[in-house]
Amino acid sequence: MTTPHHPPSSPTRPHQAMGAGGEFDTIRMLMSRWGDLAADIGDDAAVLSPITSGVRVVSTDACVEGVHFRREWIAPYDVGVRAAAAALSDLAAMGAAAEYVLVAFVVPDGWRTALGAVADGIGAQVRRAGARIVGGNLSRGAAFGITLTVIGTAARAVSRAGAQVGDVVVVTGLLGGPGAALAAWESGVEPTGWAHERFVHPSPRLAEGALLAAAGASAMLDISDGLAADARHIAAASGVDLVIDDTRLPLGEGITAQNALRSGEEYELLATMAPSAYEALACAWPAGGVSLTVIGVVGPIGAAHRSGQGAVSPGHDHFRENS
């Protein structure tokens, strides 16, 4: 399953002329790397056309060296790929199509020569998503960081708050690769090919999210904190419990169920939907692409505890000690 490769209708305004200086030279370098992906660059703000139907969906995501990656683990190009994937995945989680991206960089002196490669990685993801880059910001700082704001549209935006008792719980793709790669690096060894690829080149499930939304998904999010933790996020927002059957988890090669439950930054989609809606979607789901697997059911509050769940990792939390 692929996402669109054509950019949305671009803003009508051309790029703004910029004067001399190191900051403007860097912006011009970024524009040259992004080519036709960049539109309306150089003014204080981007000007976007109004939409005629559906809703706008907007999200912001940050990627910081030493928090989300270590430079010795992945190449600058891969840093850009991962940062853009994480941001675009938030649109996928709402069932939205990507339209526009804004990119803000904090660049220490030691990263200036690598910035072009980072931009190439961002551009590769933005092009696959069918979006355009319409602005951003540049700053010097002590730690390298990228903050991306993504803007999309959806005919029907799916929140975390709609799961109903009796719904089935489904997940896209295979789980556990990013967690396995992280564990390998932290143990001083190189990850295996599949786990390494899943960490450095995640794919936001934009097409899959749109299909799930159109099929009537009642709640949905992308797996960033780990399946167990993100299932609890849907449960809390919806006032239910998600009862996960770990024997049904779609595991990558060499991955255990417990590791799959903990593995974060998957950027697969976790959704709930009525059984009849799932049956109809399963018949139409594209064969040979990203898998869609039923892994549990939605029950009333307390159902997960009664089923024996609860002894799994709480998942990633930026503000929990030792997270």
Do 118 and 93 share a structural domain? yes
313 is annotated as contributing to ligand binding: no
CATH number at residue 85: 3.30.1330.10
137 is annotated as contributing to ligand binding: yes
Looking at the DSSP assignment, which residues form a beta bridge with residue 221? 270
* pLDDT band per the 50, 70, 90 thresholds, residue 1: low
Do 121 and 184 share a structural domain? no
pLDDT of res. 241: 95
CATH number at residue 208: 3.90.650.10
pLDDT of res. 322: 52
Domain boundary pick from 121, 154, 187: 154
pLDDT digits (tens, 9 = 90+) for 251-276: 999 999 999 999 999 999 999 999 99
pLDDT of res. 134: 93
Do 173 and 299 share a structural domain? yes
Do 270 and 195 share a structural domain? yes
Do 213 and 124 share a structural domain? no
Mean pLDDT score of the chain: 89
Q: What 3-state DSSP class applies to 67?
A: coil
pLDDT of res. 12: 52
78 is annotated as contributing to ligand binding: no
Looking at the DSSP assignment, which residues form a beta bridge with residue 149? 60, 102
Do 174 and 111 share a structural domain? no
Q: Measure the CA–CA gap between 32 and 322, rounded to whole angstroms.
A: 41
Residue 220 in domain: yes
Residues 6+ apart with CB under 8 A from 111: 76, 118, 144
Do 264 and 143 share a structural domain? no
Residue 119 in domain: yes
222 is annotated as contributing to ligand binding: yes
Do 293 and 179 share a structural domain? yes
Domain boundary pick from 105, 122, 154: 154
Number of separate domains in the chain = 2
Q: What 3-state DSSP class applies to 238?
A: helix
Residue 318 in domain: no
Do 286 and 180 share a structural domain? yes
322 is annotated as contributing to ligand binding: no
311 pLDDT higher than 60? no
318 is annotated as contributing to ligand binding: no
120 is annotated as contributing to ligand binding: no
pLDDT digits (tens, 9 = 90+) for 141-194: 999 999 999 999 999 999 999 999 999 999 999 999 999 999 999 999 999 889
Residue 177 in domain: yes
43 is annotated as contributing to ligand binding: no
| HEC profile of 270-319 | EEEECHHHHHHHHHHCCCCCCCEEEEEEEECCCHHHHCCCCCCCCCCCCC
Residue 217 in domain: yes
* Paired sense of beta strands 132-139 and 97-106, if any: parallel
pLDDT digits (tens, 9 = 90+) for 76-105: 999 999 999 999 999 999 999 999 999 999
pLDDT of res. 5: 42
pTM of this structure: 0.89
90 is annotated as contributing to ligand binding: yes
Do 175 and 131 share a structural domain? no
172 is annotated as contributing to ligand binding: no
Residue 4 in domain: no
pLDDT of res. 11: 52
Residue 11 in domain: no
61 is annotated as contributing to ligand binding: yes
Domain boundary pick from 154, 187, 204: 154
Dihedral, 283, 287, 290, 296 alpha carbons, nearest 10: 30
As a whole number, mean pLDDT of residues 211-228 equals 97
Indicate the burial class of 175 (C-beta count within 10 angstroms; 0-12, 13-18, 19 or more).
Answer: buried
Residue 5 in domain: no
Do 254 and 125 share a structural domain? no
Do 290 and 174 share a structural domain? yes
* pLDDT band per the 50, 70, 90 thresholds, residue 35: confident
Choice among 61-75, 145-159, 203-217, 240-254 with the minimum mean pLDDT: 61-75
Which range marks the domain in which residue 269 is found?
168-306
